[in-house]
Amino acid sequence: MKRVIASRRKEDGFALLLVLVTVMALSLIIAGLWESSQPSWEANNLERARYKAGVLAESGLTIGLHPDIEPGDVALQQELSPGLSFEVRITSEGGKIPVNGLDDDILREATEEMFIAWGADAATASQAADSIADWVDEDSEVLPNGAENAYYAGLDYPQFPPNTAISNLEELLFVAGMDEIARIQPLWRDYFTFRSDDLIDLNAAPWELIMALTGCTEDSAMNFVAVRSGDDGEDNTPDDYRYEDTGEIQALLGLTDGEWSDISSLVTLSGAIKRIESTGRIGDFEETRVVLARESEQNGRTILTPVARFRE
């Protein structure tokens, strides 16, 4: 009888041990599954936030593309609920240098002067400006401080320059001298475009470009932009001032009739290509969508026709 009881106790002990081992194994498996699932959950949450922020940005674009909406309109900045908002900026793509137009001597010289205003020395500024012109022109003649095939072949890039209009600003990083310009001014991309109507919009251009193009003083260029920004000192707000009188522009910049005549064919006061930039925000996460649209008049109404669309 004692042997039977001992045997049963032994079997019960093994069964209990087996249960404990099984429970431990299941606990480890569950813990492992939970831990391995965390990156997936986090990735899914990130994707959901990106999607929602993108939807908000798209909503902002819809408003920004309405032809009756003006820069600074209250409808362009909305908070739908705490942590859920979008903000739209409408500017002119013409406030930048048309990079494919640098075969024009005045624009090329203005680009060189702008590089100098950023802090580049005269030699580097001249090399970069001339080399951009050599990159986009159709011939193989080297400008005084530029670079054509012989220069790039020596760097094992015999396919450069393409001698054709660029369609991506990143190409400029291959241009002789632009590595130093990019080091001096990391935001250089904000000053160039290949999608404008090839005219520089004085109601959108930064002060460095205005100074470089017109030859006015730094103080005059900065004052010109300050007047344009209105009392709050911020661009794209309801109190912005738009220049419409060339006489006023000449007076503020201190230009003679001759100096204005030299650049008048290169500038505009209303660029045809509008830049609508919409940022959607979900908490600390944000997504930005950009549409470039050509403005035109049809049957007395303003029409905006998208010409490019991308994310930033």
* Nearest to 223, CA basis, from 198, 185, 253: 253
pLDDT tens digit sequence for 130-158: 999 999 999 999 999 999 999 999 998 88
Spelled out in words, what is the top-level CATH class assigned to the domain 98-190? mainly alpha
Determine the pLDDT at residue 32.
Answer: 54
Give residue limits of the domains in the chain. 44-93+273-311, 98-190, 205-266
Reported residue count of the chain is 312
Q: Give pLDDT < 50 ranges for the chain.
A: 2, 4-6, 10, 14, 17, 19-21, 23-31, 33-34, 37
* Nearest to 251, CA basis, from 240, 242, 259: 259
pLDDT tens digit sequence for 6-31: 455 545 554 554 544 454 444 444 44
- Those residues whose C-beta lies under 8 Å from the C-beta of residue 83, and which sit 6 or more positions away, are 281, 282, 283
Determine the pLDDT at residue 281.
Answer: 94
Determine the pLDDT at residue 116.
Answer: 97
- Show the tokens assigned to 198: 């090839």
Q: Strand runs (DSSP E) across the chain, as ranges? A: 77-81, 84-92, 97-98, 192-193, 200-201, 267-268, 273-282, 285-298, 301-311
Rounded Cα gap, residues 116 and 55, in angstroms:
42
